[in-house]
Amino acid sequence: MGIAQAIKRTLMPVYSGLKHVFLKPYTVKWPYEKVPNLPEEGYRFDPKAGIGYPGSKGRHVLYMEKCTGCGSCDLTCQNIAEAITMTHGFDVLIVLDEGCYESFKRSMPGIVEAVEALVGSFSAEPGRIEYNSLSSFFWAPTDTRQVTKVEGGYEIRLNREPIFDARAVEVLHQKVYPAVEKLKAAGWELRKLDAATESASVELSRQDFTFNVLVRKIEMGYKQNRRSLFPSIDYGRCVMCGFCVDACPFQALEMTGEFEISSTSRRELVYTPTMLAKRPEDFNVTGVPPELNMIERMRMIFRRLVW
Ligand code: SF4
Ligand code: SF4
């Protein structure tokens, strides 16, 4: 090593240290101030280059148009936190034949109460999508359900947005059976049960009325994912390690800067593929910490303008 290089190597750390003496440290004053959630600031992995790009390890974002449903992320997480479940999207439908639908439209006792009970059991669903097509009818001013004419009858869609689960029979047990139990108490008989991974149905009958409740897989229409299988993530289990991002061969999973996802309900911590597909919204930060003096306040406002 030459003398010049030795001097350079000695002075470089001194220079770095001195440089920072004149820089005033700045602490982000969360929750009044937040670092913006830019797409490239979350943790990402490039499988071709084998490089993980440093970034925030907050909740994931799923690019559904890239996901093939291969399940690598699920397999990886099984050895870590078992937070990922590969899920299909399902619709829950009341299937009425022509006669039953006519009776329903004429408000015949019995069938109306049955449909009402089933619709009511889904009214607590978080409804972000409102269906208001020509084939819809208004159940109540704020509560619409889609009615579709099909061969031999009509289908009334009970859920407002896809219900994601691993198997149709699980949806039947969790979503339909509670209402069916009430109907059984009102004299309805449960006549038939078909249960499989992608569809499940029950037949209910009482006196002159017979209709089906059907759980049916939704074809999401992504060419690269013909099985319409996407990961859901349970943030009650996830430890934000990022290994699922590393394991995805198609860069369909990334992490974001969103870390404020606490909830008082375990159920709300399960993020479905459509929830994961939404990028975190831009932070809407208002107010300033009361302990700041005028100069610090001005500085914070200036930083917000720059961000
Ligand atoms: S980040 Fe969460 S979901 Fe992904 S592998 Fe780690 S624990 Fe599992
Ligand atoms: S997110 Fe990636 S690893 Fe997971 S199923 Fe989709 S393509 Fe496969």
SS (H, E, C) the chain: CCHHHHHHHHHHHHHHHHHHHCCCCCCCCCCCCCCCCCHHHECEEECCCCEEECCECCCEEECCCCCCCCCHHHHHHHCCCCCEEEEEEEEEEEEEEHHHHHHHHCCCCCHHHHHHHHHHHCCCCCCCCCCCCCCEEEEECCEEEEEEEECCEEEEECCCCCEEECCHHHHHHHHHHHHHHHHHHCCCEEEEEEECCCEEEEEEEECCEEEEEEEEECCCCCCCCCCCCEEEEECCCCCCCCHHHHHCCCCCEEECCCCCCCCCCCHHHEECHHHHHCCCCCCCCCCCCCCCCHHHHHHHHHHHHHC
> Is residue 180 domain-resident?
yes
How many angstroms separate the CA atoms of 81 and 243, rounded?
A: 11
The reply to whether 295 falls in a domain is: yes
Number of domains, the chain: 2
Mutate to test the pocket of ligand 1, among 77, 235, 245 (most ligand atoms within 8 A of CB): 77
Ligand nearest to the CA of 241: 1
What's phi and psi for 293, nearest 5 deg? -85, 180
**Same domain assignment for residues 122 and 46:** no
Q: Which tens digit of pLDDT belongs to each residue from 80-96?
A: 999 999 999 999 999 99
Q: For residue 258, report the distance from its CA to the centre of ligand 2, in Å.
A: 21
Q: Are residues 109 and 61 in the same domain?
A: no
- Is 225 a pocket residue for ligand 2 (Cβ < 6 Å)? no
Residue 213 and residue 239 share a domain? no
Residues 211 and 247 in one domain: no
Cα 295 to averaged position of ligand 1 atoms, centre (Å): 42
> Which of 217, 244, 264 finishes a domain?
217
Query: What's the rounded mean pLDDT across residues 213-224?
Result: 93
Pocket residue to mutate for ligand 1, from 74, 80, 230, most atoms within 8 A of Cβ: 80
Average pLDDT for 99-119: 84
Min mean pLDDT across 137-141, 233-237, 301-305 is at 137-141
Q: How many angstroms is it from 230 CA to the middle of ligand 2?
A: 7
| 252 and 207 within one domain | no
pLDDT, position 143: 52
**pLDDT of 22 above 90:** no
Atom of ligand 1 nearest to the CA of 82: 8
Residue 199: domain span: 87-217
Is residue 165's pLDDT more than 80?
yes
Q: Which atom of ligand 2 is nearest to the CA of 84?
A: 4
In a domain, 225, yes or no: no
Q: Does residue 227 form part of some domain?
A: no
Read off the pLDDT of residues 184-197 as tens digits, 9 standing for 90 and up.
888 899 877 777 77
Residue 136 has pLDDT above 60, yes or no: no
Q: What is the token pair recorded at 13?
A: 């750390």
Atom of ligand 1 nearest to the CA of 76: 5
Q: In this structure, is residue 18 part of a structural domain?
A: no
- Indicate whether 52 belongs to any domain: yes
Rounded distance from Cα 212 to ligand 1 centre (Å)? 39
Report the pLDDT value the prediction gives residue 131, as an integer from 0 to 100. Answer: 36
Ligand found nearest the CA of 72: 2
How high is the mean pLDDT of the chain? 83
- Which domain-ending residue is among 182, 217, 252? 217
- Nearest-angstrom CA–CA distance, 273 and 160: 15
pLDDT of residue 33: 73
Are residues 92 and 52 both part of a single domain?
Answer: no
Specify whether 242 is located in the same domain as 185. no
User: What's the CA-to-centroid distance between 224 and ligand 2, angstroms?
Assistant: 11
Q: Is the CB of 62 inside a 6 Å radius of any atom of ligand 1? A: no
Give the residue among 180, 196, 161, 174 at the shortest CA–CA distance from 90: 161
How many Å apart are CA 222 and CA 129, to the nearest integer?
A: 20
Same domain? 186 vs 285: no
Distance CA 243, CA 255 (A): 11
Same domain? 38 vs 155? no
Supply the pLDDT for residue 295: 83
Q: Which of 167, 190, 217 is the last residue of a domain?
A: 217
